[in-house]
Amino acid sequence: MSGLQASEEDVEEQLRTFMETLTDSEIYREFVDASEALDEDSEASALLREFQEKQQRMQRDFDQSLMSELQELQSEMDDNETIQRHREAQEALVELLQETNDVISEQIGREFAQSTGGGCC
Amino acid sequence: MLLSASEEDVLAAAEALGEELAAMESDASPAEFQTVLLQCNEAISEETGVQYGDVCGAGGSC
């Protein structure tokens, strides 16, 4: 076995441990629970969908009345417990993932996070 | 199996992964190492359902 192969296996093992620890963390579990709660809450899901649709329309064509509707929807979303729970859980998870990226990037002396989305915007 | 890992546990696991990656970097060519980084990111994204590179800012200004 070459040195590189051995190194790759060590990396794979640590990667598995990292992913297992991450998905077993309280922060990740709360994100999953909050996502499921959002999926099961038809009122919250509809509110979120309506907001996203109007936001996309707004990006294509600015309209003052649409802006007012968006502000009203935003206010409703701010008052919606399920949406707020999901938002907070998502923010906590993103913050944790960013911290893991900082830790790993420091070790390897370059940015660990790679964009794999295949294109921007 | 771990039970409800803390944030510190996750960061410790991230540090251990970073150490292995750093050790591997000296054995690999720049292209090989870059490929491994991409594979790690894809694996994390698949496992969590969250695009790791995008939430960590690698996606640019999107």
- Picking from A14, A27, A94, the nearest residue to B17 by CB comes out as A14
Predicted local confidence at residue B3, as pLDDT:
57
pLDDT digits (tens, 9 = 90+) for B26-59: 888 999 999 999 999 999 999 999 999 998 876 6
Asked whether residue A110 carries a pLDDT value surpassing 80, the answer given is yes
Give chain B positions within 8 Å (CB) of A109.
22
- Picking from A21, A97, A101, the nearest residue to B2 by CB comes out as A21
Predicted local confidence at residue B2, as pLDDT:
47
Average pLDDT in chain A: 91
Which segments of chain A does DSSP mark as H helices, in order?
3-23, 26-40, 42-60, 64-79, 81-108
Asked whether residue B61 carries a pLDDT value surpassing 50, the answer given is no
Predicted local confidence at residue A13, as pLDDT:
96
- Picking from A7, A20, A99, the nearest residue to B23 by CB comes out as A7
Pick from B53, B4, B21, B12: which is nearest to A98 by CA?
Answer: B53
| A75 in contact with chain B, both atoms CB, cutoff 8 A | no
Asked whether residue A119 carries a pLDDT value surpassing 50, the answer given is no
| A25 in contact with chain B, both atoms CB, cutoff 8 A | yes
Instruction: State the complex-level ipTM.
Output: 0.88
Predicted local confidence at residue B5, as pLDDT:
82
For residue A48, the distance in angstroms to the closest alpha carbon of chain B comes to: 19
Pick from B31, B11, B3, B28: which is nearest to A11 by CA?
Answer: B28
Predicted local confidence at residue A78, as pLDDT:
96
Decide: B45 and B52 in contact? Cβ < 8 Å: yes
Q: How many other C-beta atoms are found inside a 10 Å radius of the C-beta of residue B54?
A: 21
Give chain B positions within 8 Å (CB) of A26.
4-7
pLDDT class for A6, splitting at 50, 70, 90?
A: low
**Residue B11 C-beta-side C-alpha neighbours within 13 Å:** 11
% of chain A surpassing 90 pLDDT? 80
Pick from B30, B9, B24: which is nearest to A10 by CA?
Answer: B24
| B31 in contact with chain A, both atoms CB, cutoff 8 A | no
Predicted structure pTM score? 0.85
Number of A–B residue contacts, CB under 8 Å: 162
